[in-house]
Structure 1
Amino acid sequence: MRRVLIATVASAVAVLAGCAAPQQPEVTFYTDGQSAATTPRVRFDLAEGRAIRDEGALVQLKTRQGAPVQISVPAELSDGAWTVSFSYLDATGNRVDGGSKAFFPKDEQHAFTLTLPPGSRRLLLVSVQQIVFLNGIEPVVSAYWDMETVER
């Protein structure tokens, strides 16, 4: 009887593990001596045309003015196209939005370091964006990994 119970529990665990949602890739942000890894804050199910949001995936890191942000992406992202966008306050306090070039598999780029222009007041948000190509030609962002900064 005990063997049957153990076999039944083991089978149930295997079935449940097989039904679990696939693990989402994590992006790691490093700044000012701290790091945080996170899953996508927003993913788009392109087949169903809907957004899947996880506000708990937004990471916040304290940073000093002028501190760079290093970003490390897993192979699930670097094996496809990705880019980094960001927002910051310039020397006059105006919000500026910017972005990196797009990285493609041939670039073999697994990391990016964001350094703001001299005199910038504060980094606000950094976002890694996964890019897919609809019909092989139209670029669409399919997921966002986001980091927000908090001043020290």
Structure 2
Amino acid sequence: MLFSGGMIPLYLIVNSLGLLDSYWAIWLTGAISPFYLIVMRGLFGNIPRELEDAARIDGCGEWRLLLAVALPLAKPAIATFTIFYMVAHWNSYFEAILYLHDQSLMPLQVMLRRLIIQDEDLLGTETADILFSPAVPMAAIVITITPLIIVFPFFQKYFNKGFLLGSVKE
């Protein structure tokens, strides 16, 4: 579960499902990280049995137990992994050039790479006629990271708790 089959089998699966040149190819192949899944399973497995029993005595069913007891205890880990997923998918570059061939579907990071190394213009034609000053790629980088900078403070209070979760045992 920790190790994938590799790039070629995953490409063949995406191709056989007919997902090439669609955003689903990127979203589905990176939807679940086995490492984060194992950590979250361990987190939910460490919820004290007494807490579950107390909630059941108070009349909680399975869904209420999940929503009212387990998820509030897991907020720091969920917020931490949300930040990790967000940064990983926001910076995804390789999956896009592997699964997307239509230039209109390319994400921002691919366009940013083209702008920075200036081997192609943004329309995809070889040998760009316009050379940008260094200020243009730097401004594009700032614009690219702005959404992450805006969202991060909302998760900051959970981030430190979630990062250290499970590191100290009593």
Instruction: Give the TM-score taking structure 2 as reference length.
Output: 0.20
Please identify which structure carries the higher strand content. 1
- Tell me which structure has the larger Cα radius of gyration: 2
Instruction: Give the TM-score taking structure 1 as reference length.
Output: 0.22
Please identify which structure carries the higher helix content. 2
